[in-house]
Amino acid sequence: MASPQKIYVAIVGVGLVGSEFINQLLSIPPLNSPFHLISLTSTTRSLFNHTNPITSASSWKSDLAASVDRPDLPKLTKQLSALVSPTQKVALIDNTSSEDVAALYPTWISAGISVITPNKKAFSGDIALYEQIVAASKTVNGGRFLNEATVGAGLPVVGTLKDLVATGDKIVKIEGVFSGTMSYIFNEFSTGTPDGPAFSSVVRIAREKGYTEPHPADDLNGFDVARKLTILARTVTHASALPALQSFAAVQTASLIPPELEGIPTGDEFVARLPAFDAHFAAMRAAASAEGQVLRFVGVVDVQNGQVRAGLEKYPTTHPFATSLGGSDNIIMFHTERYGARPLIVQGAGAGAAVTAMGVLGDLLKLA
Ligand SMILES: NC(=O)c1ccc[n+]([C@@H]2O[C@H](COP(=O)([O-])OP(=O)(O)OC[C@H]3O[C@@H](n4cnc5c(N)ncnc54)[C@H](OP(=O)(O)O)[C@@H]3O)[C@@H](O)[C@H]2O)c1
Ligand SMILES: *[C@@H]1O[C@H](CO)[C@@H](O)[C@H](O)[C@H]1NC(C)=O
Ligand SMILES: CC(=O)N[C@H]1CO[C@H](CO)[C@@H](O)[C@@H]1O
Cα 22 from chain centroid (whole Å)? 19
Q: How far apart are CA 39 and CA 79, in angstroms?
A: 10
For the Cβ of 19 lying below 6 angstroms from any atom of ligand 1, the answer is no
**pLDDT digits over 246-265, tens only?**
999 999 999 999 999 999 99
- Compute, in angstroms, the gap from residue 37 CA to the centroid of ligand 2: 14
Distance in angstroms (rounded) separating the CA atoms of residues 8 and 271: 46
- Tell me the pLDDT tens digit for each residue of 221-246: 999 999 999 999 999 976 567 888 99
Taken in order 357, 360, 366, 368, is the CA torsion positive or negative? negative
The segments of the chain whose pLDDT lies below 70 read: 1-4, 238-240
H-state helical runs in 73-179: 73-81, 99-102, 105-110, 121-124, 127-137, 158-166
Ligand closest to Cα of 64 equals 1
55 lines ligand 2 (CB under 6 A): no
Q: Would the CB of 97 count as within 6 Å of ligand 1? A: yes
Does residue 95's CB lie within 6 angstroms of at least one atom of ligand 3?
Answer: yes
- Among all bound ligands, the one having the nearest atom to the CA of 69 is 2
pLDDT of residue 17: 81
For residue 95, report the distance from its CA to the centre of ligand 3, in Å. 6
Ligand 1, atom 44: closest residue by C-alpha = 97
Q: Is 51 in the pocket of ligand 2 (CB under 6 A)?
A: yes
For 118, phi and psi rounded to 5 degrees? -95, 0
Listing DSSP states for 39-99 in one string gives EEE-SS-EEE-TTS-B--TTTHHHHHHH--PPP-HHHHHHHHHTT-BTTEEEEEEE-S--H
Dist. CA 52 → ligand 2 center (Å): 6
Ligand 1 centroid, distance to 15 Cα (angstroms):
6
Ligand nearest to the CA of 47: 2
pTM tops 0.85, yes or no? yes
Query: Could you list the active site residues?
Result: 228
> Do the Cβ atoms of 27 and 57 come closer than 8 Å?
yes
pLDDT, position 5: 83
